[in-house]
Amino acid sequence: MAVSIAQGFDSVSAAAQDAAALRRVFETITAESCPSSYNFHMHTLFSDGKLQPEQLMERAIAGGLLGLAITDHHSVNGYEQARQWLQQQVETAAAPLPHLWTGMEINAELLADEVHILAYAFDPYHAALQPYMTYKKGEPKRKTDAAARVIAAIHAANGMAVLAHPARYHRATAELIPAAAALGIDGVETFYAYNNPNPWLPSPKQTEEVKRLGKAYGLFSTCGTDSHGLSLLQRL
């Protein structure tokens, strides 16, 4: 699903915060969706990635992505720079541009384990999320907040909350997903390549477990490469 973005700051921002459109996309996500059509987990130089936001967007367009989100850790600065760049392309684009949604990755505590929660399609200037926009290179990692408060803040900003890479934590996936669902999380990152294979491929065992649990608790499935390097097709 590509998006036609009308000229003007407001229309680009509105597209980035269109949670209804994102829900429709999440309902269609399969193992084949990422990384050729959609990618909802990528980092830039504004957290611990290596790409400038403009470079990431250029790669997204060159790769034929229909939709994406930049999910820097505790920052929306990469998204904002990408949004400004995208706005400049609207006036001269000969083909549809990909749909850029707001995104951010937030540390949280769930069942006494540190987890990451991905926020999507939220208002990046909403007061509820400002306490989580704290990323600064070289500074110690901030203390994690309770997952319940993080999810509530994302929802207050009209966004959607997704449990990132559920099989990467100390606690078992079978414990974390029900606990996150009980707190009102919207989705799980079902399709994720845990061993960083080349080419990118969702890890079969983990995918099946996360998919089964997500379905059991009525959660959306998402996909992403968790790119930190120069390629959007792998994690590193």
SS (H, E, C) 160-192: EEEECCCCCCCCCHHHHHHHHHHCCCCEEEEEC
* 21 in a structural domain: yes
Number of domains in the chain: 1
* 231 in a structural domain: no
pLDDT at 81: 97
pLDDT along the chain (236 residues), means of 10: 38 90 98 97 98 98 97 98 92 86 98 98 97 88 89 98 98 98 98 96 98 98 98 95
* 50 in a structural domain: yes
* 233 in a structural domain: no
* 210 in a structural domain: yes
Distance (Å, whole) CA 62 – CA 12:
20
Q: Where are the beta strands (DSSP E) in the chain?
A: 38-39, 67-69, 99-101, 103-110, 113-120, 145-146, 160-163, 187-191, 220-223
* 228 in a structural domain: no
CATH, residue 29: 3.20.20.140
Dump pLDDT digits (tens) for 58-75. Answer: 999 999 999 999 999 999
Domain that holds residue 20: 9-223
pTM of the model: 0.94
**Contact status, residue 190 vs residue 150, Cβ threshold 8 Å:** no
* 234 in a structural domain: no
* 20 in a structural domain: yes
pLDDT at 4: 35
